[in-house]
Amino acid sequence: MLKTLQIKLLPDERQEEALIETFVRFNEACNFVSRIAFERRLYNKVFLQKIVYREIREKFGLAAQLAIRVIAKVVETYKADKEHFHELRDFGSIIYDQRILSFKGMDQVSINTIHGRIRIPMTTGKYGKIPFDRVRGQCDLVRKNRLFYLMVAVEVPEEPTVEPQDIIGVDMGIVNIAVDSTGKYYSGDKINEVRKHNADLRSRLQSVGTRSAKRHLKKLSGKENRFARNTNHVISKEIVQRAKGTSSAIAIEDLSGIRMRTTVRKGSRYIHNSWSFYQLRSFIEYKARESGIPVIAVDPHNTSRECPNCHSISKRNRPERSHFRCVSCGIEGEADFIASLNIRNRAAVSQPIVAGAIFGHLTLPAASPDALARSS
Ligand SMILES: [Zn+2]
């Protein structure tokens, strides 16, 4: 599978200027070409190159390969939509290939700019080192929060698939971002705190409405997204590690369930963030895949209303939002935990063939009184 490494560049002041100028010039050239492509309805790389290549090299002072990249980028953006003119952002990404970019060991990269080729220090950060023999294709130079990064696609060998001995059911919610069927709670307190705090600040800033308030607002949402993303990384990592440590598959609800369950009252809209759930889910999926852990998606209907012990389904099983008490057999516990047990059960029974082969030695996982006691 392919994995994208994000390598941070550490340019000095002069190099930073060269990068900024290159970005601006590159995207200006893109807009120039985009205009011609759109007006003449010309979306073919070869034809377009014949018309604009010389002109963009002269007009924008781009090296040959960068000029080619400009044309390729414009052609690419029109593949999805030819109905509208495409204007590219000043700092839209620049795609580099081996001819205009080369790594000089683990701490320097040599790249083409409008001021010629320069060597810029970089840091591989948490990746430790880049497996150069497994770098695939081109890499994107991007600018985020005034910093420069190279996005490098690397072929990562998948670990052999674990033969699961068990299943961990994971329920995703709002108060608890996730609860798993081993009884582990991944709290959403901190992230909800941040969101609530920001929501207050946001409404104050919105009523101010000045330009600086707007800038502040934008910054705020960036900060909040980064915080949520980081939280999702930490949680997904822990869930996958637990699964690996116990040789378990991971069971989660089918996507539609997540959308359903995140419908909240209008007053608490700030908590409603289905985007964050999709992100957590996709983090769990790709981390599991990297570790060879199977992920099983189950039918999400009534996972919060079914009794994991006698399987009766009733609205009345949920006397309160956070509490479950079965009207038939009396088992009770924390609602999100009960849901995680149901998700686990469903994964085991929903795949009879797999279940027969790999879960045959287990009795079907039902709620153990122990686990239930732990949760209440
Ligand atoms: Zn029951």
Compute mean pLDDT per 10 residues along the chain, 376 residues long, and list them: 88 96 95 95 93 94 92 92 89 88 90 93 83 83 93 82 88 84 85 79 83 83 82 93 93 67 44 69 90 90 90 91 91 92 88 48 46 49
Phi and psi at residue 302, to the nearest 5°? 60, 20
Asked if residue 156 lies in contact with residue 31, where contact means CB atoms within 8 angstroms, the answer is no
CA dihedral over 113, 119, 123, 129, signed as positive or negative: positive
CA of 16 to the centre of ligand 1 (A): 64
Token look-up 């190279």 returns 150
Q: Which residues surround ligand 1, an ion (CB under 5 A)?
A: 307, 309-310, 326, 328-329
**The 248-253 sheet, strands edge to edge:** 185-187, 176-180, 166-172, 248-253, 295-298
140 Rama sector, left if φ>0, alpha if ψ -120 to 50, beta otherwise:
beta
Q: What is the pLDDT of residue 205?
A: 85
Distance CA 172, CA 315 (A): 20
- DSSP β-ladder status, 135-144 and 176-180: unpaired
Dig out the tokens for 302 from the structure.
């009534």
Quote the CA–CA distance of 170 and 175 in Å, as a whole number: 14
Q: Are strands 185-187 and 176-180 parallel, antiparallel or unpaired?
A: antiparallel
Tell me, in angstroms, the distance from the centre of ligand 1 to residue 368's CA.
Answer: 12
What's the CA-to-centroid distance between 313 and ligand 1, angstroms?
Answer: 8
Of the candidates 313, 293, 308, 318, which has an alpha carbon nearest to the alpha carbon of residue 344? 308
Q: Are 349 and 311 in contact (CB under 8 A)?
A: no
Q: Which amino acid is at 57?
A: R
**Interval between CA 343 and ligand 1 midpoint (Å):** 15
Residues across the chain: 376
Tell how far the Cα of 326 is from the centroid of ligand 1, in angstroms: 5
CA of 261 to the centre of ligand 1 (A): 22
Residue 256 pLDDT: 57
Show the DSSP H helices in 169-254 as ranges: 189-208, 211-245
* Cβ atoms of 162 and 291 closer than 8 Å: yes
Distance 305 CA to ligand 1 centre (A): 10
Token representation of residue 345: 């059960």
Question: Is residue 157 within 8 Å of 3, Cβ to Cβ?
Answer: no
298's tokens: 């189950």
Q: Which two tokens stand for residue 46?
A: 């070869």
Question: How many angstroms does the Cα of residue 328 sit away from the middle of ligand 1?
Answer: 5
For residue 369, report the distance from its CA to the centre of ligand 1, in Å.
12
d(CA 247, ligand 1 centre) in Å:
29
